Amino acid sequence: MSGLGVSFDDPVLEARILAGVDEVERQLAAAVDSPEAFVAEAAAHLLNAGGKRFRPLVVALCAEFGDPAAPGVVPSAVVVELTHLATLYHDDVMDEADKRRGALSANARWDNTLAILVGDYLFAQASDIVSTLGPEAVRIQARTFSRLVRGQIRETIGPGDGDPLQHYLGVVADKTGSLIATSARFGAMMSAAPVEVEHALTEFGERIGAAFQLRDDIIDVASETGESGKTPGTDLREGVPTLPVLLVQQMSAGSTDPAEVRLLDLLGRPLTDDAEHAEALEALRRHPAMDEARSYVQSEADAARRLLEKLPDVPARAALAALCDTVATRLG
């Protein structure tokens, strides 16, 4: 198991992927730099806080189905990670978050206006790099950005009269699945993999991207303090409905059981009271909806794995299959 969170049976592949991700890291540092000291500091704030670099990993693995040393592979990985980082700055403003990756969020360290502007700066840097990769890459990036924004808008306005669970799954697809799908597509496209491989990998990225986010929903409820590096129940405290909560609301709707009625009441509002928050977290952990949520994430990861059967049997295919297991069961 590498530090990237994926198993490699082939040491040559592992060395090549690690070297590629290291080069992405170097180019990311260069991309966020600026002659203005403050801009450089603020733009590097979340970059320096760390992160899984999941999207560059997907780019690198998918590039293995063509020429992984092709000149566009690393820059395209930088593009998707810069885009991801930019969305984090904007998300923290919208969520009024105080922490990100264990550090002060940019909006908490400075203010909302600066955090938004730094996010815009990172989007601009990503756009500058993708412009060197050709018009098709620019088009893909623009359409991905459109999906990211539409997902955020849909999340902000809520489901309306629609089904809350289906609405949420659509938001996850747009806000997370879209960029990981583009990561897979860029890896295949930049390495000149066959078109049918590119299509299969794009669909794989969409599936594994959704599973990646939905697993985060489970971790937010199930992890103990310090186990995942995150504070358990953050979404509960903020009244953000995620997969386990929505499943409880679906499964327990109309119940007259006092415990179910109490849990539905707690889950229907932000939980700023520590005692109520602890009560809801404990009840949610015991609820059958948690197993239902785990089963759903596993089914998404399994669907992603089945897509790999269409691909040539190269070492990266086994690594991507292992990635499905990691995404479905990770603790942080």
Q: Give the model confidence (pLDDT) of 25-43 as tens digits.
A: 999 999 888 888 877 787 7
Provide φ and ψ at 100, rounded to 5°.
-150, 120
**Residue 99's beta-bridge partner residues?**
104
Tokens at 101, concatenated: 């990756």
Q: How many domains does the chain have?
A: 1
Interaxial angle between packed helices 315-329 and 54-62, expressed in degrees from 0 to 180 and rounded to the nearest 10? 150
The pLDDT of residue 22 is: 94
- Asked whether residue 106 is domain-assigned, the answer is yes
Indicate if the pLDDT at residue 228 is higher than 50: no
The residue type of 239 is G
Q: pLDDT for 302-313, tens place per residue?
A: 999 999 998 999
Name the pLDDT band for 14 (thresholds 50, 70, 90).
Answer: very high
- Asked whether residue 5 is domain-assigned, the answer is no
Name the pLDDT band for 1 (thresholds 50, 70, 90).
Answer: very low
- Asked whether residue 240 is domain-assigned, the answer is yes
The pLDDT of residue 192 is: 98
Whether 64 and 32 have beta carbons less than 8 Å apart is answered as no
- Asked whether residue 229 is domain-assigned, the answer is yes
Whether 284 and 290 have beta carbons less than 8 Å apart is answered as yes
Name the pLDDT band for 93 (thresholds 50, 70, 90).
Answer: low
DSSP letter at 10 equals: -
Indicate if the pLDDT at residue 95 is higher than 80: no
| Cα separation, 303 vs 203, whole angstroms | 10
The pLDDT of residue 97 is: 56
- Asked whether residue 3 is domain-assigned, the answer is no
Name the pLDDT band for 224 (thresholds 50, 70, 90).
Answer: confident
Name the pLDDT band for 99 (thresholds 50, 70, 90).
Answer: low
The residue type of 153 is I
| Cα separation, 270 vs 274, whole angstroms | 11
- Give the CA count within 13 Å in the CB-facing half-sphere of 25: 15
Indicate if the pLDDT at residue 2 is higher than 60: no
Indicate if the pLDDT at residue 104 is higher than 70: no
The pTM (predicted TM-score) of the whole model is 0.91
Q: pLDDT for 271-294, tens place per residue?
A: 989 999 999 999 999 999 999 999
- Asked whether residue 249 is domain-assigned, the answer is yes
Percent of the chain with pLDDT over 70: 89
Indicate if the pLDDT at residue 243 is higher than 50: yes
- Average the pLDDT over each of 9-13, 38-42, 256-260, 286-290 and give the range with the smallest value: 38-42
Name the pLDDT band for 245 (thresholds 50, 70, 90).
Answer: very high
* Nearest alpha carbon to residue 190 among 5, 24, 46: 24
The pLDDT of residue 105 is: 63
Q: Is the model more confident about 237 or about 291?
A: 291
Q: Return the beta strands (E) in the chain as ranges.
A: 99-100, 103-104
The pLDDT of residue 48 is: 74
| Cα separation, 127 vs 69, whole angstroms | 22
Whether 109 and 170 have beta carbons less than 8 Å apart is answered as no
Name the pLDDT band for 108 (thresholds 50, 70, 90).
Answer: low
**How many beta carbons lie within 10 A of that of residue 62, not counting itself?**
31
Q: Is the model more confident about 21 or about 116?
A: 21
The pLDDT of residue 50 is: 66
Concatenating the DSSP letter of every residue in 52-113 gives --HHHHHHHHHGGGS-TT-TTHHHHHHHHHHHHHHHHHHHHHHHT-SEETTEE-HHHHS-HH
Mean pLDDT across 35-52: 76
Domain that holds residue 259: 11-330
Indicate if the pLDDT at residue 100 is higher than 60: no
- Provide the CATH number for the domain around residue 61: 1.10.600.10
- Asked whether residue 145 is domain-assigned, the answer is yes
Indicate if the pLDDT at residue 88 is higher than 90: no
* Nearest alpha carbon to residue 308 among 177, 213, 184, 172: 184
- Asked whether residue 4 is domain-assigned, the answer is no
